[in-house]
Structure 1
């Protein structure tokens, strides 16, 4: 197995799939140039360096720098997908989906349904999301709860470089539209990645990163590492935690969550989105409805406050769920009588 960074897993997977299938194309702002570079094969490949070298390998017909117009990027991706291509469209920040919601929500997500299954829309929409990078209120949001609520979209949140590789390959080969959310604070994280050129991870299959009998903790993205740290600390005290990395929120692996709660009887969901109408609220409701008899304590969700994300580093740190906050929630459900 090779070891690589999260961002390198993105680039290498796209390159491998472009070599395998000539219908795979990339488009987005600054994916050729970026950061003031002149463009061309020497360019860095966008502000996140997630398309480095693609222009030199595949040329301007398949690696397309677009105008600064999210609605144009999504509209072009929709047309390309309907025409037999497999576009990988990048929105530089997930926060900008509002500009292109009609194309995503009202067009791309609905094509297969509206045309009675006679067409397909194999578009992958990549976005950098999340706080912890000191990028302020308009460039730090977690938007998965909005996109997960849109029927017709598959929503993917890889946490490790291996998951990037396996889930992105699955997304590119999928015949339905996929939202692929990459946490910007994870781009520099390294990990082992399988060498198999056909390594794929099916959607709707969560990953159990820690195993225990006392509490179920559900999360994804940057905060999963916080949950693992809590589980490791509590394990030293004889407290066992199941830590579940969702990987995808649509489809959601309900079975893994419910099976775990039936054993532990306790649930803590850790979610980077604000609390109202969040993924945490949705999973807590799911467990309350389908595993109520197994519960030994009320389910808890650990979220940021219902406010815009602050810019000041100290306030952003206070805003996000922390290891201490997650540990406090776990201890609360353990102590419930």
Structure 2
């Protein structure tokens, strides 16, 4: 399966297994979603389980919170992560706090799916990476898969979680892994080990990182699309790097990060979002606090520019293999 098919399989399996689950959002019903992730689900499970919503992100999330408090497990889709800001107050002031402010009487077990990130020439309003905003909000969980196998297992686990989860789906990975070179076509998931996705239900715990590649010289921390770009950079630079796919940034597998950095003594952090205030800053602080005496070089961050999303220059904006390779070289010079 590619990632679209894996996500569709997860949603299909949960709709079949749990009558309390339902999917709604803009164009997710009859049309099957702009990226076809919900394709066929309305026809198979009916209009009450998969249906379209008005163009009102605040209304979509508010309705989902009410459904969750009532006992359902809604899976609302925000068509692009850029569109989620009109619903931000509902997510922060209501969903994230409901279980705590009610002393456990009410929950908001909602999974907010949204395509995110650039690379499809979507411009400034279809390409942003807002994960650090959500990571800052206590009470929300934030998940970002990098491959079809993880995407299905993480989505099933997120739907079954009793807390609100922001599930961000890298658009560049929907159809195949991408190595970050803008002059190369998107590869197919066909033949990729992570494309072997079982039918039915399986789960990947939130907050459990994956070691994509073991190494001794430097630890590379990444998630989503950047896992594949980092892997290309490691191969091209011939550095003995250990690549850690975080998979979820809240909860964060700090134990896996610390174990890797204490082993290698060096750390490079990669994300597509802007550098200033990005999640890489939090990762850097956590590593410095826990691994200071083991570090042999300054922690490096390779990120997007500190500008509004530059559609005309997006392939320069993205961390690519060349920029990552340069960072790997710098930390090894100490």
Q: Give the TM-score, by structure 1 length.
A: 0.92
**Structure 2 gap segments, 5+ residues each:** 177-188
8 Å contact kept, 1:155–1:248: yes
CA distance in 2, matches of 1:52, 1:271: 30
4+ runs deviating over 3 angstroms: none
SS at match of 2:311: coil
In the TM superposition, 1:290-309 aligns within 5 A as 290-309=290-309
CA distance in 1, matches of 2:158, 2:263: 32
Aligned to 1:155: 142
- How far off is 1:196 after superposition? 5.9
Aligned match of 1:197 in 159, 176, 200? 200
1:223 has 2:220 as partner: no
8 Å contact kept, 1:269–1:280: yes
- Range that drifts further, 115-124 or 50-59: 115-124
CA distance in 2, matches of 1:66, 1:220: 30
CA distance in 2, matches of 1:243, 1:282: 18
Aligned to 1:329: 327
Aligned to 2:241: 241
Aligned to 1:255: 255
- How far off is 1:232 after superposition? 2.1
CA distance in 2, matches of 1:157, 1:193: 19
Q: Report Cα offsets for 1:280-314 as digits up to 9, x if no partner.
A: 111111111111000000001101110011222xx
In the TM superposition, 1:1-337 aligns within 5 A as 4-33=1-30, 43=31, 45-189=32-176, 190=189, 191-195=194-198, 197-235=200-238, 239-312=239-312, 315-336=313-334
- How far off is 1:234 after superposition? 3.6
| Aligned alpha-carbon RMSD (Å) | 1.1
SS at match of 1:168: helix
CA distance in 2, matches of 1:29, 1:192: 28
- How far off is 1:132 after superposition? 1.2
8 Å contact kept, 2:10–2:201: no
Q: Give the TM-score, by structure 2 length.
A: 0.93
CA distance in 1, matches of 2:154, 2:277: 26
SS at match of 2:112: strand
- How far off is 1:223 after superposition? 1.2
8 Å contact kept, 1:155–1:249: yes
CA distance in 2, matches of 1:83, 1:54: 23
Q: Report Cα offsets for 1:302-337 as digits up to 9, x if no partner.
A: 01110011222xx1101111100000001000012x
CA distance in 1, matches of 2:76, 2:196: 24
CA distance in 1, matches of 2:7, 2:199: 15
Q: Report Cα offsets for 1:132-179 as digits up to 9, x if no partner.
A: 111111211101000011000111000000001110010111111111
- How far off is 1:198 after superposition? 3.1
8 Å contact kept, 1:234–1:240: no
**Structure 1 gap segments, 5+ residues each:** 34-42
8 Å contact kept, 1:32–1:46: yes
- How far off is 1:246 after superposition? 0.4
8 Å contact kept, 1:165–1:193: no
Q: Report Cα offsets for 1:8-41 as digits up to 9, x if no partner.
A: 11111101100001110001001123xxxxxxxx
CA distance in 2, matches of 1:67, 1:225: 36
8 Å contact kept, 2:76–2:111: yes
SS at match of 2:195: strand
Aligned to 2:186: none
Aligned to 1:38: none
SS at match of 1:271: strand
SS at match of 1:243: strand
SS at match of 1:72: helix
